[in-house]
Structure 1
Amino acid sequence: MGSSVSCTSNTKVIDTAFEKQEKSERKIEDCTETVKSSSHCLKSDPIEALPSNNSSAPPPCDPIEAPPSNNILAPPPGDQIEAPTLNDIVAPPPAPSVTMSTSNKQKENGDDKDAGTENSKDKGEAENGEKKVENEWMTDEELEEFRKKTFDYLRDTANEVVALKTRHESGGAFVTKIYNATIRFNQIYFALKKTVRENIHKFRKDIAELMMETKYFNLSCEIVMEIYKNGWCGKDGKEEKSKTVPLTNSLITLLNFSDGCDEYAIGLANEPGFLDTLKQILGDSLPKYFAKEGEPKLSGIEEKLMKHSLSIVHNMSMRESNISKLRDADMISCLKPYLKSPNEMYALNALASLAGLINEEECDVINSNKEIVMILLDCIRKGMKDKMRRCKGWSCQESVFTVKLLARNDANMKTLVDLGALELLVEMAKIGDDGEQFESVSALWALCFDEDNQSLITGKPELGVVDLLVDLKSSENEKIKKACNGALWTLRDALKKTVVEKYKKIEAEYAFQLRKKVIPLKMERGYTPDGWLGFIVGAKLFFEFSPKYPFEDKMKALLREIDGVLGGSGDIPDSGEIIKPQVASVTEAAGAHSVDYADTASSASNTVARISVSKTTIDNVRKWTVDDVKKWIVKNGLEKCGISSLTGGEIALLATMRVECPDFFYKCLQDMLRVKDLLTMSKIVWALHDLS
């Protein structure tokens, strides 16, 4: 399929314009043969592959799979088409050296979504042992000059062939200028290298827009529709290269450029007759593709048309505005059989397309093909390790987009989570660019609508979903921010029971350690706090901001309370006074109340035994020496209670904690002092009580 081509000059060795393609069943096919000897080349100057980073060279034009000169310049023997001049192709760079080898013919193994997928490895040395290429990035100036020359060249080419009044030869084949143009636009997809991924994507998108602007896009569709309708074989039944080359090159060009340009993919669905042609290709291919032993099989060209058509349909299905057109064309029935394809990448294309087309009632089609979903997740896993963020032609972004589409159906949500989708999406969102992050958090949002998934996400902090959403909700990208906020809102009820409770408790503990006053705010009418929060609210003045009361009244009351705290009227009075809970009368207008701390032993009676300790006592205990602490421990029989190492300040803190927040106090005894039995706990409690 391809031989190695390199260019040399008097200055430095630079990479060729087109990388050698990865070995894959879905790679670009020019339907040309490897050059077997130099006698196959025409006597005119051969076409050379142009350096991708040499801004002084003209734009590239050779096909990705370096076809033999006789296949580029003219169709195979028997088709009487005049060979074009060098101006029909492109002027080669000065004194290039070209080596074509027959030993590197590409093998087909696997199935890439993009035809002609790039190598993830940067080949610095030619396959045939030529001089190693310098691994240098293009400068901004080189990149801009390369883009300008390439676009000028492609625009001239497109305008010329679109304006042709006579497009066909007498035998029905397209004229040579169109034949060569299909090769140029095919190969240009992989021309730009040695720059960041964002520049490569923009380069390709801009070329797609140029093709639409010049109407070359429409010409490519016309070539595919016309040649498929009229056939590509001669009277002798043999395939004619003059027809198969433009057919496959045009179909591959439409496939590759519809991958990264929305307008291009939408244009394909709206091109009159094109969707019907794709449907016809897929329908015609089914009998031979699934043929039994002894029955006619697909030819090489027929299978290429089938797999490229599957990929184009998938690219179209990724655009929301195309869905109704694809459904109206009954593309679902065309795609379903391919879910059973023995080729996993064909099946994945069908699954991804159906994910965007089917509704809730039809989701069983996907839920019964879990093994294909596993292939999809594996593409994400492997793609994250690739420099171009691709696996077998599938970009991470479109793979995650497919996960998001699958997650729209309830039955698929559990399947995706069971197969490990959550972990992959979190990892992708952490390392991806804006586009990958948006699709990842959008997919997470979709998965959050399942109640079981909500419990899993909020109940297992180690998954990192909530932390990720909280981090990215402050993203500068509005789409990412909106998706994160949406996901967190969807999780709000589950978060109340798990993660938020955890963080609120930590905040409350921290406030207590700093001896900061806590003013509880009740935001939901009818909500009754329990557990640790119930202890706090039950002992303090709180303000209810539910719709039950006017917001302005509540805010005024809260501001008065805050002003009082900042003015020094907190829980700790001047020296000598007794520290006791603040008692507030119930104020209906403010919706606030407070309850004294009480000994549970006295709860049966109408009297409340208030727990108190003077500030003077606390200050004195804080000043205790080691001997003072030892005397107190011996006096109260605490030698075996595990608190011998406490300082006076720590004992004072325990005494204060027992008054201000009993829940924290008992939790501290259990978790920090490791008190596990009631006898030990009672000794410590009554020893602290005697301090008063």
Structure 2
Amino acid sequence: MGCGTSSTPSRSELHGRSVEEGPAIPRRRPKQTNVETVIVGPPTESSGFHAPEVDETDHGPIVRRCIEFLKVATSTGGQTARRSPLDPEGLQQTAGQRKALYPEFVASLERLHVTQSYIDDSSMESLLTVCRMSDLTDTELANELVEKRYPELFVKIWNAVYDKDIYLSPGLTREYIAFNLLKQATISFTHVSWNLCVEMGSAKHGIVPLIAKEFDHPLMTQEGLRSGVKRALWNSPRETLKKMINILANIIRKNIDNKPVFREAQIVPHLQELLKCRFMIMRAKALFCLVYLINEDENEALNTADDNINFVLKVLGKCLDQRGHYSDHYTFSAEVVVNGIVHMAVNDSNKVKLVKNGVLPKLITMLKTDNIAEKRAAAKAVWKLAFHEDNKKEFKTNHTLISVLKELQSSETEHKILKACSAVLWMLDATGGDGVEKGQHETVEKPPTLPGGKDNGEMEVQSVDGDGFDDDKPHVMISYQWGCQMQMIKVKELLRAAGYHVWMDVDNMGGSTLESMATAVERSAVVLVCFSEKYKRSASCRTEAEYTYKLQKPIIPLRLQLDYDPDGWLGIMIGAKLYVDMSRPDNLEEDFSKLKQQLGERGRVAKEGFGTLRSTIKSTRKERKENIDGSGGQGTDFNRSTTQRRSMNAKNTGTQENVCAKAVSAWTNDQVNAWLTKHGLVGLKNRFDGYSGQRLLGLKTISAEAPDFFYSELKKDLGFKSLLEIVTFKQALDGII
């Protein structure tokens, strides 16, 4: 059946292209050649469109060279060199080629910026040079493309060469080749550059909606893919569609902040439709883009059955079977697949399905490799999966997993791997000793210095025992995802100025150690849960939040992402709590006032008592020093473990004793009764019959969040009769930190 007739005008005829703009492309019937072809379903008479094969011999040397590049790139999964795009060995081997090609590459970009035509020989040569460099690129070079205005160039070339008939008209051969070269180069550059993905995914360039329009082309729909188009492999509609999805997947997986742009462009329904496609590679591309874009409701609908989970694990298995753990067939590395699994595992039901269908042995294999990126992705995945109780039980009995994690904990130097392994062991109660105490040490932010400060010969208020915590004053803890760090530093400073005692990991989320985090939660008066979608997806943040919830610490939710409604585990935790909306930077003063109202006096250092407090801290520091070493203050070692500090504090019978909330959470009713007796409340034991430590912590939470209700219930429900009983009991509760 003919793919075009003499009545179909070419773009050059429509726009009157001159001879100087390049030779006219003759329209001709497709020849029967030996070119490798792919049949996409059986041809039908009713489809109304059949794309022509490109004649590879009649358009000059540059066209033939471009086609040859695209053919090889397609057969190797997007790279003319058979390697994973970030393979260290491959990058080292091609360093000389990058350096040699760089001057020509820069000159080509400059020419493409100033030209108005992209189908003459010179422009196509420049495009081919850009493609050749994309095949050799490393992250540093790809990052340069932001300064070299590559996103603007992408839009300019796309608009210049694109035509609705570009897939069908033989008169648009050069445009079609330029179009493919542009997409091919962009795939490779975005694969390795976070900076470029941030820029290309931003709303200002309009690249995402520009690409999204292609989903509506008849050849890109399910019907189009099924109807039957016979073309050279590099030139087929499904290869064009794969290139589009590759670009989109790179942009979103490198920077999930681009998600609103994708959602607005209505990309999710198109990708969901492609999951029905009979071409497995197309399904894989669509699925690994979707995992970054869908919300909880869409995820439940998408993964009701285990089909997609099993398919993902099949792709991962194929990657692990190949040298370098890179699948030429699916054009994925094991690292990329597992990073997708990490996002898939944000949903709790997916966590169980992934483990049930055999993801764990594959992750253990990756944890044993020498590839840092692979180990990092695998460790993060295990951490994310360990949040589900069913998985946790299975992990605890997997001696191979525990052994590998402990080995990495003791020998690994890469911080993110170390942190993830330590966190999983901590969650599984398999740490042993003090192995969790790794990494940098955090600080507690100090209230404002009194007038005169150091000039009056006194020290500023600091940690009592050198661990970054003031044992004598519960603090306001800020739990946040590092992407919001600058915003929360402003809030922290405002809190300090208002007299609050603040704990914040002032380096970043990655710098927090497990013991510091745990101690920060344990000693908090209240925790600010600064939530956003990134907070929900972060394993670090969930670890903090769940520990806060376990200890029944009061929380105040702060919304940092405009219009974000928490769902999944975060939605359950926040529930119907009143949150402070701090997603509007220009409204910080008003929002902070609301935060202060909710905080009240919790974690606050009253101005009128600040001098007394400082004297008390100095006195306590001296007493504790004497109690610890028994030497009147000589030769004290302040770098003691949390356990040692608590043990020594217990010996100081002259002051109110504090009890760790973590320990209280495990108390039985007998231990609760012993606690009441210790505080002179033996007469209340019958009223607390059946109370565990968890219920006691719940009562403490109510006392902080709803004090009026708390005091009325002490009288009505628990039968407290005297003011002395109420005061004594409340003081005892306050001693749980």
TM-score of the superposed pair, with normalisation by structure 2: 0.47
By percentage of residues, which structure has more helix?
Answer: 2
Larger Rg: 1
